[in-house]
Amino acid sequence: MVVRRAVVAAASAAALAVPLLISAPSSASPAPDAGLQPPPKQPVAVGSGGAVSSVNPYASRAGLDVLRHGGNAVDAAVATAAALGVVEPYSAGIGGGGYFVYYNARTGKVSTIDGRETAPAGMRSDSFLDPATGKPIPFDEAVNSGLSVGVPGTPATWQKALDEWGTVSLAKALRPATRIADDGFVVNGEFRAQTRLNEARFRDFTSTAELFLPGGELPVVGSRFRNPDLARTYRELARKGVGALYHGDIGLDVVKAVQHPPVAPGSHRAVRPGLMERGDLARYDALGQAPTHATYHGLDLYSMAPSSSGGTTVGEALNILENFDLSSADRVQALHHYLEASRLAFADRNRWVGDPAFSDVPTQELLSQEFAKDRACLIRSDAVLDSPVAPGDPRHPGAACTRGNGSEEPYEGTSTTHLVTADRWGNVVSYTLTIEQTGGSAITVPGRGFLLNNELTDFSFSPVTAGVPDPNLPGPGKRPRSSMSPTIVLHDGKPMIALGSPGGATIITTVLQTLVNRLDLGMTLPEAVDAPRISQRNRTATEAEPAFLDSPERTALERLGHRFVPAPTTFTPSPEIGAVAALEFRPDGKIEAVAEPKRRGGGSAMVLHEAR
């Protein structure tokens, strides 16, 4: 099967035929072209034959093109992800990692791939401590360094998914993304805003400035942005396979960039070299593993097991909520219980979840109904728990109702991206991938066109509580704890909803709140995605979007003792929480693809045969 160009509206096709405006790197900043138009995008699409939802119309179109030419949901997911590496390079790419959840319509089984980045063999529990003071190094120094770069897992995830469940080769799956990198995409306001957010640190690395600051300036909205280096890298992966990264020349260039970051002359930034060796790449393995499983209102929810904390934390919170009657008739109490369940689940997540290859993670116990019932006994309808709440002991749930003090969750980057796909045969993919915060480590591999992650900053830099083991300290070959929560919900063994989100630790609360909105508060899926978000993660204050801060629910919840603060904009252009991509499989046999209507500039939902 040959994967051809996606079929688009005539106006879009004509736009792509105009002469290229720039070639990155360029000697001058490009000017906008009024005749240049990106593919159309819409937040909701309903139809049949297959569907794709992501944050970007170029990426969704790439996945839909694969479906149109006979590919399945896995093929489409890899094509969409590769395209996101081109058009959303500050959120994802082959320099990062992620988690892949797959529903097989033939077997009715849900499987997952842990493609999380790993620490190099040279990393130790004190690698983020200053040897002179014994204290954690400044966070900014950790992020913008080779020290923060984990061994990438994304290429291995793509290959494993295609080998296990796909129908096309990696070379074919990469073709749409390679064309986008060659031909270019239209710069939008979000891309420019994210570049501006990272401008200072991008200028400190020669390869990054050359690529993302063409002519030394911010990319202009309406201009065409090309990445020929990434196109060449994708072609090399297509010819040689992912071994080109894990055993070949691409990997050699990655290691050079990590060990000797391309710091710009005159930069005053202290950039620490990394510990990665070629052997670390050669030892990397994307892990096939069983998903987490929880039930809610008779539905079966499948998500990622550790090293991600997404599946256990969303599942535990829902188990806690099942002890209460949440209803749209009392929205304030429903939101109150949602916040308290999230607070408790995060307390347990922070204490117990890490890489299961290095820690004894009580995954099944965290998801037990007995433990959730004991944790639920702490929740009162007329008061708020004092944060940080102490964790319970899932192996001895009888003591879970004891009050006490715990620790807040450590920092986790708020970028990342998510996609969902489905095909005509009923297979479904929910896939979250990342390079950590917006712009990753800010290090672009010279000549390769992609940014490296700063994923190792997800480790705890030092023990949070004296005397209590921390399962998330750095270690050789270890996967840092993640919050990515790609989720598939089944009803009577068939897919009902697939969803996920970017957002660091707020991924968990975004997925949880979207499910509560849809399953308890009577919202449609588009309404559930669009609703204002609030995120409680065992902190004294709950982060909230502006629309919620202006709502009457805020005042009512504050009377109960909740305290709200605006969602931060440290690493994002806007005070937003998450960016959901989701699918719902309707009783009439149609698929409803849903993306964000406004967050991150609005997402892109597409179906193969749209219903009129």
Beta bridge mates, 568:
none
From the list 484, 55, 151, the residue with the least C-alpha distance to 291 is 484
Q: At what angle do helices 331-352 and 506-519 cross, to 10 degrees?
A: 140
Q: How far apart are CA 514 and CA 191, in angstroms?
A: 26
| Joined tokens for residue 605 | 């939902």
| Burial profile 417-435: b = 16 or more Cβ within 10 angstroms, e = fewer | bbbbbbbbebbbbbbbbbb
Length of the chain: 612
From the list 187, 207, 164, the residue with the least C-alpha distance to 72 is 164
Q: How far apart are CA 180 and CA 265, in angstroms?
A: 32
Contact in structure between 24 and 214 (CB atoms under 8 Å): yes
CA–centroid distance for 134 within its chain: 32
Residues in Cβ contact with 301 at an 8 Å cutoff, skipping those fewer than 6 apart? 293, 294, 295, 314, 315, 318, 487, 488, 489, 490, 515
Which phi and psi (to 5°) does residue 264 adopt? -70, 140
Q: What share of residues in the chain are helix, strand, coil (percent, to 5)?
A: 35, 15, 50
| Joined tokens for residue 191 | 């891309």
Residues in Cβ contact with 501 at an 8 Å cutoff, skipping those fewer than 6 apart? 418, 432, 485, 507, 510, 511, 514, 578, 579, 580, 581
Give the 3-state secondary structure of residue 342: helix
Rg from Cα positions in the chain: 23
Contact in structure between 440 and 451 (CB atoms under 8 Å): yes
Write the DSSP symbol of residue 526: H
| Joined tokens for residue 138 | 């400044």
Q: How far apart are CA 374 and CA 369, in angstroms?
A: 9
Cα separation values, 570 from 51, 198, 478, 503, Å: 33, 10, 28, 12
As a dihedral over the C-alpha atoms of residue 507, residue 508, residue 513, residue 516, rounded to 10 degrees, the angle is 140
Contact in structure between 89 and 21 (CB atoms under 8 Å): no
* Residue bearing tokens 């069983």: 290
Q: How far apart are CA 588 and CA 195, in angstroms?
A: 43
Contact in structure between 93 and 234 (CB atoms under 8 Å): no
Q: How far apart are CA 180 and CA 78, in angstroms?
A: 15
What is the CB-side half-sphere exposure of residue 202 using CA atoms within 13 A?
23
Give the 3-state secondary structure of residue 542: strand
Residues classed as catalytic: 416
From the list 395, 396, 305, the residue with the least C-alpha distance to 353 is 305
| Joined tokens for residue 586 | 């309707």
Contact in structure between 374 and 332 (CB atoms under 8 Å): no
| Joined tokens for residue 498 | 């697939």
Cα separation values, 150 from 154, 298, 435, 527, Å: 11, 39, 9, 37
